[in-house]
Amino acid sequence: VKIVRSINAAYNFCRRSPTPTALVPTMGALHAGHAALIRKARRLVGHGGTVIVSLFVNPTQFGPSEDYHKYPRTARADHDLCKVLGVDIVFEPAAEMMYPPPFSTYVDEKMVSASLCGASRPGHFQGVCTVVLKLFSITGPTFAVFGLKDFQQCMVIRRMTRDLNLPIHLEFVETVREPDGLAMSSRNRFLSRAERAQAAVVHRALLAAKSAWRRGETRASRLRALLCKTIAEAPLARIDYAEVVDSDSLTPVRKADSNTVMALAVFFGGTRLIDNLWLRK
Ligand code: PAF
């Protein structure tokens, strides 16, 4: 695996690759969920293609009171995993290189990013879109691979890619879960033992609401109430949002159907976990 830290080098190695390339944008602290994205990237480009993983904790997507400084940074372990998985290029820029002062150009998607995490984390998706567009223009990939745990992020990037005519095929990969159902996330390591023991309630709540829907409950208000009731079974959990939304617009629906997604953000202490379930799946 080639570790590339400068934008010029990344530009040369990635953009000039004669074979198809697939980019997996990450903030590092890689886990089995990222490994699934990297394996998907390899399948997309084949053995002769180039798999690029970016490791960059992007400051612009964190709010002033969020965990940017605390976010896990595990470069050595990340490099080792990339090596094991046969990644060709790791792009690991410094923040000053990605945002040289004075930096004043940002990308704003204004619809899909308005609800859910966009509402509770103002500016978050502006930071995500800006860095993803920069990563796209630096590496010029044929494919880019993202995880569906961040469902809204996938939809925002899909809209940006369409609206800005970016010539990139997007691929979204199913959430990888721990045996008890907790979605894999770099932030899971911040959970205390007691919090970790209760955190699977997030997925359980989604499954409970989905089985209610399967049994014929289509009222979104009831499904939402069921999500909240199940989460309340975990005394250490505090709901940030529990929503039942349309999978395209991400706006709340009144009646749930197969295009509906249920989305949760739940705090355990200072750790915010998100998860979602698409009823059609
Ligand atoms: O999902 C993430 O890890 C980040 O939001 C991303 C897409 C790498 C942008 O910083």
Give the residue-averaged pLDDT of 230-247: 98
pLDDT exceeding 90 applies to what percent of the chain?
98
Alpha-carbon gap, residue 103 to 100, rounded angstroms: 6
Instruction: State the pLDDT at residue 150.
Output: 98
Instruction: State the pLDDT at residue 16.
Output: 85
Q: What is the pLDDT of residues 68-85, one digit of tens each?
A: 999 999 999 999 999 999
The binding-site residues of ligand 1, defined as CB within 6 angstroms of any ligand atom, are: 25-27, 58, 61, 128, 131-132, 150, 153
Tokens 């894999």 identify what position?
184
Assign 281 a pLDDT band (cuts: 50, 70, 90). confident
Indicate if 124 belongs to the active site. no
Considering the chain, what is the average pLDDT of its residues?
97
Distance of CA 180 to the CA centre of its chain: 20
DSSP H helices in the chain: 7-10, 32-45, 75-84, 95-98, 116-120, 124-139, 151-163, 193-199, 201-214, 220-232
Name the residue of 132, 173, 186 to mutate for ligand 1: max ligand atoms within 8 A of Cβ.
132
Give the residue-averaged pLDDT of 239-251: 97
Instruction: State the pLDDT at residue 147.
Output: 98
* Residue 271 DSSP class: E
Q: What is the pLDDT of residues 248-269, one digit of tens each?
A: 999 999 999 999 999 999 999 9
